[in-house]
Amino acid sequence: MSATSRSSTDLTDAIADACEQFQLEVNTAAQRQLAAYAASLWQWNERLNLTRHTDVERFVARDVADAVALADHLADGERVLDVGTGGGVPGVLLAILRPDLSVELSESVGKRAAAVKAIVQETGLRVPVHAQAAQSLLPAHRYDTLVVRAVAPLGKLLSWFEPLADTFGRLLVIKGPRWEAEKGEARHRGLVKDVRIRRVAAWPLHGTESESVLLEIHKRDQQP
């Protein structure tokens, strides 16, 4: 059931139940903000295609689960850039789950950037939205971590960001079951000579027999 047919209390309760179902530790305040975000996202989605996760179960099992996994690998107070945020995942969710973080969003598609800026405001958050590609923000802006989900194959990501690796700390990339094949393709293209790629976490991709993985990518001369 979409947010447009639920009260805010009902939606918050449904998100809380789903978090319990999928064993995700999310506090009550964050559950309320997640409900506000989902309500706004789904309303905007009726005008602009921002997400396929338009019910509570898929929203929590996919989007919230990914953000929780990312949050566990970010240090206190990190400055984080969400690369190609689309409708705000995972960046907006990280800002909700980890208010200690300094989160910014980048989205090169103007209509999506405008929509996610409105969603952020409607959710009551102060999260800067850059209507430009993440690469163009570097090196003028310094980030501890770039987070990436569902943007491009690993080889393309490396072709974009490996030349800029001196301008940020690391990449945290969420990938699906093809990540090893993508890594092999990137290696074949000579894109992993100067970077180290580690799988640092994995969690079930609910509704399938596969799993999501979190990859940490940094220059070989940097400490993980």
Number of helices and strands in the chain (H, E): 8, 7
pLDDT digits 0-9 by tens, 120-156: 999 999 999 999 999 999 999 999 999 999 899 999 9
CA-to-CA distance for 213 and 154, rounded, in angstroms? Answer: 13
Q: Domains along the chain?
A: 65-219 (3.40.50.150)
Going from the first residue of the chain to its last (224 residues), give the mean pLDDT of each consecutive group of 10, the final group possibly shorter: 63 97 96 97 94 95 97 97 96 98 97 97 97 94 95 94 91 94 93 92 88 93 62
pLDDT digits 0-9 by tens, 90-123: 999 999 999 999 999 999 999 999 999 999 999 9
Q: Identify the three-state secondary structure at position 130.
A: strand
Paired tokens of 11 = 């939606």
Instruction: For residue 124, give the DSSP letter.
Output: T
CA-to-CA distance for 164 and 130, rounded, in angstroms? Answer: 18
User: 205 CB contacts (<8 Å, ≥6 apart)?
Assistant: 62, 176, 177, 211, 212
| pLDDT at residue 218, rounded to an integer | 92
| pLDDT at residue 214, rounded to an integer | 97
Paired tokens of 130 = 């850059």
Q: Note whether 139 and 164 are within 8 A (CB).
A: yes
Paired tokens of 188 = 């074949």
